[in-house]
Structures are given as structure tokens and as C-alpha cells.
């Protein structure tokens, strides 16, 4: 009877420290790509979502079409979304980012608009009475008061993007999803488990980081709770 190999990689175990030691550069490259794709898609989504939410807030008739269109985009399955964008962007990282941007718009626009609508009208009237013009009112009163709701949407959109990046493995730009996809094809247990756990760690860390930023830039919410 042949003795089992001493190497956990040779035994194809789920938990294997040798995997990280021997393939750390591959893992780090995948993590870096995952973070780059997530960050780019969320930031672009935020840049697009703010004016859309302001448009919907300024002209009430636009709120329905804006919310409806972004909601419809979110209902499209990720594989179908990437397939629809393929003729425009080809097999590239831009394809993945574009798809994630469209998905993020639903969460970002809805929450930013909800935050703007939640600003008390008497607060706006008081600011106008103090001589605040539309731009100053928006930048110094409305947007700061809308931050808690906007940050909640940003946190959800970020965690969602971290998850959806893995689907980009179908075009070769999936960050840790590339490792998961390759590992599942070859039944490489340590690779599948390691990449999956890292996705969870990144999502939790990003959510906690944004929560810390939210508390830092909205100190009045802590005072209100106190």
C-alpha cells in the first residue's frame, strides 16, 4: 500500500498553507485586480449616480423614469449583462467595469435620492432665509444631510461589486474569480477555498472601512444617537 504524500498540495486538501507560500504572487495579483475593478466601478457609478439623483430630486417627473431604468438594469443577470456589453467593449477589464457600474446605479441613485428627499423642508427654508443660493444650499446643507443614506447605498454597492467581480472570470478579468473558476475546473481545493475566503474578507473589510468613514464624516448622527 502506497503511503499518502506529505505535501498538502499533493493530497489536494482544502486547507493548505503551502498553497499561499508557493503561489502568493498569483494570489496577490488576483487580489489587486479584484480591488482595482471594484474601486473603478464604484467610483464611476458614484460619479454618475449623484447627478441622476439630483435630476430626479429637482424635477419630480424624472424620478420615475430614472429609478425604473436603473432598477431594470439591476434585474439583468450578470452573464447576460456582460454578453450585451461584449460588442461594445470586447473581452477586456472595461467590460467588467461597465457592467458593475450599471449594477451599482440602482443602489446608489435610490439611496442618494432618498437622502435628499429626507432633508426637512424647514431646514431648506431656514437656509434660504439666511441667504443661501441653490448651489450653496446643495453643497453645505442638502448633500451633508443626505450622507447617511448615501453612504448606506455606497456600502451595499461596494459589497455587491466585490461579489460580482468574480463573474468577470468568464472574460478573464475576475480578480479572485479567476482563481475560483480555474480551481473549480481542476478541482483544486486549496485554490477555491483560499480565493473564496479572500473575497469574503475583502467584502467585510470594505464594509467596515466605509462604515468608519461614514461615522467620521457624519458626527452629528452619533450625537443624535447619544
pLDDT in tens, 13-33: 888 888 888 889 999 999 999
Is there a contact between 171 and 155 (Cβ–Cβ < 8 Å)? no
* pLDDT given at position 139: 83
Q: What residues contact 82, with CB distance under 8 A and at least 6 apart?
A: 95, 96, 99, 167, 168, 170, 171
pLDDT tens per residue across span 61-116: 788 888 888 888 888 888 889 989 999 998 899 999 999 999 999 899 999 999 88
DSSP 68: H
* pLDDT given at position 224: 56
Q: Where are the beta strands (DSSP E) in the chain?
A: none
CA–CA separation, 4 and 12 (whole Å): 11
CA–CA separation, 180 and 193 (whole Å): 8
Q: Which three cell numbers stand for residue 30?
A: 488576483
pLDDT tens per residue across span 187-217: 898 999 999 999 999 999 999 999 999 988 8
- Of the pLDDT bands very low, low, confident and very high (cuts 50, 70, 90), residue 7 is confident
**pTM for the complete prediction?**
0.88
* pLDDT given at position 5: 60
Chain-centroid distance of CA 62 in Å reads 25
CA–CA separation, 108 and 49 (whole Å): 6
* pLDDT given at position 3: 45
Amino acid at each position: 500500500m502506497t503511503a499518502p504524500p506529505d505535501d498538502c498540495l499533493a493530497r489536494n486538501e482544502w486547507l493548505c498553507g503551502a498553497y499561499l507560500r508557493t503561489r502568493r504572487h498569483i494570489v496577490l495579483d488576483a487580489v489587486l485586480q479584484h480591488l482595482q475593478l471594484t474601486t473603478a466601478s464604484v467610483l464611476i457609478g458614484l460619479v454618475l449616480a449623484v447627478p441622476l439623483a439630483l435630476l430626479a430630486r429637482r424635477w419630480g417627473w424624472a424620478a420615475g423614469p430614472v429609478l425604473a431604468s436603473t432598477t431594470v438594469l439591476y434585474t439583468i443577470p450578470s452573464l447576460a449583462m456582460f454578453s450585451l456589453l461584449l460588442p461594445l467593449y470586447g473581452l477586456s477589464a472595461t467590460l467588467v467595469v461597465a457592467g458593475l457600474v450599471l449594477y451599482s446605479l440602482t443602489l446608489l441613485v435610490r439611496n442618494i435620492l432618498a437622502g435628499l428627499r429626507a432633508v426637512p423642508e424647514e431646514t431648506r427654508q431656514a437656509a434660504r432665509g439666511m441667504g443661501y443660493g441653490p448651489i450653496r444650499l446643495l453643497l453645505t446643507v442638502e448633500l451633508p444631510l443626505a450622507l447617511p443614506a448615501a453612504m448606506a447605498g455606497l456600502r451595499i454597492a461596494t459589497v455587491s461589486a466585490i461579489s460580482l467581480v468574480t463573474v468577470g472570470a468568464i472574460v478573464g478579468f475576475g480578480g479572485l474569480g479567476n482563481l475560483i473558476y480555474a480551481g473549480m475546473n481542476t478541482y483544486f481545493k486549496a485554490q477555491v477555498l483560499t480565493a473564496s475566503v479572500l473575497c469574503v474578507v475583502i467584502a467585510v473589510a470594505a464594509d467596515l472601512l466605509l462604515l468608519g468613514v461614514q461615522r467620521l464624516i457624519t458626527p452629528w448622527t452619533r450625537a443624535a444617537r447619544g
